[in-house]
Structure 1
Amino acid sequence: MAKKAKNPQPIAGVNYPGFEGLSRLDAVKIRSGHPLTTQIFETDESLMIHLTITGRCYARCKGCVNSAITMGSDRPRNAIVSSQEVEPDRDTAIIRELADRHRDQSITICFYGGEPFLAADKMERTWRILKESEAADRFRFLVYTNGELLSDALNIYPEFMKEMWLYSVSIDGDEEQHNRVRQGTRLSRIKENLRELSTFYKGNVLCWSTLREEQSLLNCFEEFMRLYQEGLVNHFFWHWAENREPFENLHSYVVNYGQDLEKIMDIYVQKISKGILLPIAHVNELILFLLAAKERGHTACGVELAKNYDIVSGKIYPCADLPSCLSIGGLDKDRKLQLSEYDLDSLVEYKSWLGCYQCGVHFYCGGRCPVQVVAGSKERTYQYCQLMRLHVGIIQDRISDILRGLERNGITLQTLYDQSAFLADYTDVVP
């Protein structure tokens, strides 16, 4: 039975052609009739362990989640001193204990930061210890990076770099847009590194775009397509930046975002009609949900399920981006893992006052990122709800054309998942 909303807060709504009153919980509803409910597809059930390699970062990205949300600061990220630093022996001991508690699962170790490659030696040492452990065959590794330091690591640690399962690289549009919002980094340098990486690495490279109010989604997509066609990346994902401040002009952003997404989805439909699947992870995941009547049943990161762990400075958190007061455990003086009793349902209590259980897109969204709600602001969260309804609505409007393309070209839901949608689990937000 759906939970009843506790006095959903009123908010000024915005409109978009075909989607009036996006503040209404029922502004967008999933349509009846799911043609592929009989298709069964297997999903990745890997346990995720995020390990913060270092809190250091030299960039000055606008709207950095570490600064604005986790640390509650308006200062540039490079000006904030953080003691978050991996200790390979200590932190691999925690990981091995967690692996022992989940003996039947494969485990994805997600190297996080700051910028992890600022401590590449410690990251490589952590990898090597785990690769030599008794659970080595259950581990795979990914790294979230700005992409500027790849070349140095390639020269020093080629074996480590080649063994990575996924590189998630932050790229926020073309040279002008990226350099403007990710100050302290240069897209030209990142592309040089990706070209060098591509000479010997043939695995997964995700182009991850973070959208701020002054950015163009279409600009990000067009840069992805250039990189994709050059063979430098093979997956794409975008998300709205978590922030404490509301949008300055939500109406203008909704119009721009909607128009950009419509153009992207028109290209998607054209490609799929020819049997070409654009690897946009969260778009393909939503298509799966719409065609197979799938429901997420939890927030995108699944923090309330207590099935994933984040390790920061030897302490365990349900999410690395949450404030430090929310640690749930770590090693005791005898180096034994201790996890406190905790009720993570409290992290998603906001879903009642936000009206999530009555929202027409909750089947897919699952509730906005708890970090945004717990450490951000209610007003910004409500604005994201409106954007999410528009996002789902625009893609749902094209689902019949997408289905025709899939069926005409023999593309199954399993193929859709295996080639792209599987990565949505490793992006944590939708979008």
Structure 2
Amino acid sequence: MSSASAQASTASALTVPVPLGERAYDILVGRGLIGTVGSRIAALGARAAAIVTDEHVGPLYAQAFSDALQTHGLRTSVITLAPGEATKSYASLERVCDAVLEAKIERGDLVIALGGGVIGDLAGFAAAVVRRGVRFVQVPTTLLAQVDSSVGGKTGINSRHGKNLVGAFHQPSLVLADTALLDTLPLREMRAGYAEVVKYGLIDDARFFAWCERNWRGIFEGGMERDEAVAQSCRAKAAVVVRDEHETGDRALLNLGHTFGHALEKITAYDSARLVHGEGVAIGLNLAFRFSAALGLCPISDAERIEAHLTSVGLPTRLSHVPGGCGTVDELLDAMAQDKKVKGGSLTFILAKGIGQSFIAPGIEAGKVRTFLMSEINASSS
């Protein structure tokens, strides 16, 4: 990137503050921000950085990224992992931790997550536990990571018992969301990330959902709508994180659709060829609203409106849309039983009274969930 374009992108960057006292940081959103990464990261005062990336992103950006940091006086190393959800494992965590230690990264230095949500979650968790906590920076390269996983300090890996069950809260020192990096993102990954964008409107902002219905094509095409969608999603998440950093209350609302979605990911063995996270969330959002309607909480017309919109974008909305099948009702219930929102053996769902009116619903009877899932599976097979 030329210096002129770098300055232009700096001027147009949107800043979303996350005011968490000593752990406060900024999320920067805009096109071309990666061209200013050297000066921005150098301003954090570290002497060294370990860049964690994957085999898809690394060949595109890691060398230039490393060179930019070295130009500003930082000693760098690059740790490259296989892409995909299966990388969020104990084995990968061990590898990253050992590599960070081998690179002599000290507590005042940085671990930099350069990649999508998998890399962000894994690198962040490694940063949380190496030397009992080193600083880290999120440079998310997918829409899903820019609007969700890079913000809020949730880090972790998957267990054979379920998704994200081993991890820590560890806030980044900076998030750089360069929306130009999404220009080359496969359409399927853009769609998957868009499910998380829509989620924020469904939680508590009906006007934002309506804005998405009108402007989703601009988000995909890379216009100013994309920057605004990412920034607004980050504002929404940051507001919740500031109120409830460690998910003891309202932050659970951010899991709208995820109890169903995570169960589907587990049943498909985190096989991205069958289902990626955002696709699971898209189905989960539809299930959450249809379940709310089945319980008499939400107008069925709202559930139908959500399904129509996500279908127009090209996202799956039904259990029958899971390649290779969604499993049996018992398998789905067993997967949900390992959800992090389970308390005292009772399932907690995020349900809704309408679009933009979601709420935490603890103690939902398993029998009601079973009846609903059976009706969904039967509807899919009819």
Asked if Structure 1 and Structure 2 have the same fold, meaning a TM-score greater than 0.5 normalized by the shorter chain, the answer is no
Higher helix share: 2
With normalisation by structure 2, the TM-score equals 0.30
Q: Higher RCO, 1 or 2 (CA under 8 Å, sep at least 6)?
A: 1
TM-score normalised by length of structure 1: 0.28
